[in-house]
Amino acid sequence: MVWNWLERHKRLGDLALVLFALLTSLGALGHEHRAVISVPFSFLLTLPLFFRRQYPLTVLAVTTVVTAIAVGRYAYNPFPAGVALFTVAARFDRRVSLIAGGAALAILAPPLWADAGLGHPYLVVGRLLPFAIAWLAGDSIGIRRRYVQELEDKAERLEREREGEARRAAAEEQARIARELHDVIAHNLSVMVVQAAAADDVFETRPDRAREAIRRVEATGRSALAELRRLLGDVRGNGADFAPQPGLDRLDDLVREVRDAGLDVVVRVEGMPRPLPTPLDLSAYRIVQEALTNTLKHANARRADIELRYRDAALDLVVRDDGSGDGGGSGHGLIGMRERVAIFGGSLSAGPEESGGYTVAASFPLGREP
């Protein structure tokens, strides 16, 4: 309790200790014939305690040397050196405090032994006992201090780790939403533009075909709005679920939509289709969607082939078109596809073929969560 009070009022506590130590020294000197000479020793012995927090080892050295000089000449007062040793034991680890305490006792023992006489070793032990008690008291407080500091350091590390995890999670969520927005908007708008252009081409000559294309534009727009509402529900965190997450089970709808936009699409499946983890299923669907979107927008292709290969430990998908070899788009879509595959530890390659056309190939390891 006293130590806690001193910690809260450090300067006041140090001043009180200095005054108390000075009074004990002056009280002991009152019985000395050479009190006038030894008074400066009392100030030299006690005043350094005011700086014991800033320079604990130096203060211990000064008070120990002055105490050793005073033995046999003036009054012996172990209090200042004991306080200094207490401070060292409380503030340093045990190895340092033991070395410092041992050095202090080695300095004090010879003059105390000489003053007590060879026949009275118990007097030396009795005079050194306060230093042992001071060290034990300081060491016990130091253990508590170090334990509390370790807890605080651990809590600080955990807080930094939590903040780092939160920042990483936020960045990953932002990247996921950006990929979703890009895929949803780019694909659906591309299909709507192609269908609107087709409607415009036949508006005068084939109004029935124009109305059919306009209806497809409307259906595509409604689908895009549904997916955007779902994404906004995720961003707001309100748990809204306006539309199911698309997966390869909706590949037929995607292919039908692209065919309606004027691109002939052929799908081939190898192996036995099976349920996939929802995140992987969504990523595979989005890669096919983005590849077909780029083909519609940039490749001037007439046909696209989709291959799905279900292997024991992986899902491979390939989208190949017969266009101009410019099916990669502006680059943002490719970045998103690479990110989607990398999350699962897979691989993706994309580029023009020597014989013409553009190919996107991705491989997802199965049995591994992001």
For 113-129, how does the pLDDT look when each residue is reduced to its tens digit (9 = 90+)? 777 665 566 677 777 88
**Number of other residues whose CB lies within 10 A of the CB of residue 151:** 10
**How many other CB atoms sit within 10 Å of the CB of residue 118?**
7
Residue of 96, 101, 63, 68 lying closest to 81 (CA atoms) = 63
- Percent of the chain beyond pLDDT 90? 9
Q: In sequence order, what DSSP letters do the residues of 31-57 get, joined into one string?
A: T-TTHHHHHHHHHHHHGGGGGTTTSHH
Contact 105, 128 (CB under 8 A): yes
The answer on pLDDT for 6 being more than 60 is no
Give the pLDDT band of residue 309 (cuts 50, 70, 90): very high
Structure token digits, residue 122: 């118990």
- Tens of pLDDT, residue by residue over 33-84, are 455 556 777 777 778 888 888 888 898 888 888 888 877 666 677 888 888 8
Instruction: Tell me how far apart the alpha carbons of residues 149 and 152 are, in angstroms, rounded to a whole number.
Output: 5
User: What percentage of the chain carries pLDDT values higher than 70?
Assistant: 79
pLDDT, residue 242, reads 46
More confident residue, 76 or 305: 305
Task: Determine the Cα–Cα distance for residues 127 and 78; give it in Å rounded to an integer.
Answer: 8
**Degrees, nearest 5: CA angle 307-309-311:** 170
Looking at mean pLDDT, say which of 21-25, 66-70, 282-286 comes out highest: 282-286
Identity at 189, one-letter amino acid code: L
- pTM check: above 0.75: no
Cα 35 to Cα 186: distance, rounded to the nearest angstrom: 97
- The label of the residue with tokens 């050295």 reads 61
**pLDDT reading at 267 higher than 90:** yes
Task: Count other Cβ atoms within 10 Å, centred on residue 117.
Answer: 10
Per-residue pLDDT, 317: 94
Domains and CATH numbers, the chain: 2-160 (no CATH), 263-370 (3.30.565.10)
Q: What is the pLDDT of residue 5?
A: 54
What was the pLDDT predicted at 364? 92
Q: Which residues of 319-338 are buried (b: 16+ CB within 10 A; e: fewer)?
A: bbbbbebbbbbeeebbebbb
- pLDDT one-digit tens code per residue, 95-151: 888 898 888 888 888 887 777 665 566 677 777 888 888 888 888 888 887 777 777
Q: Which residue has the higher pLDDT, 154 or 311?
A: 311
Instruction: Write down the residue that tokens 């087709």 correspond to.
Output: 198
List Cβ neighbours of 359 (8 Å cut-off, separation of 6 or more).
318, 319, 320, 321, 349, 350, 351, 352, 353
**Strand-pair category, 347-352 with 358-365:** antiparallel
Tokens 């680890």 -> residue: 93
Handedness of CA 116, 120, 124, 130 (dihedral sign): negative
Contacts of 341 (CB under 8 A, 6+ apart): 283, 287, 347, 348, 362, 363, 364
Mean pLDDT of 167-184: 73
**Maximum separation of any 2 CA atoms in the chain, in Å:** 131
Q: Say yes or no to pLDDT of 1 above 60.
A: no
**Confidence band of 231 (pLDDT split at 50, 70, 90):** low
Q: Is the pLDDT of residue 90 over 70?
A: yes
Say which residues have a Cβ less than 8 Å from residue 264's Cβ, sequence separation at least 6: 302, 303, 304
Please provide the average confidence, as pLDDT, over all residues in the chain.
Answer: 78
240 pLDDT tier (thresholds 50, 70, 90):
very low
Instruction: Calculate mean pLDDT across residues 248-259.
Output: 88
DSSP three-state, residue 85:
helix
Asked whether 112 and 128 are in contact (CB, 8 A), the reply is yes
Q: How many CB atoms lie within 10 A of CB 180?
A: 19
Inter-residue contact 254 to 292 (CB < 8 Å): yes
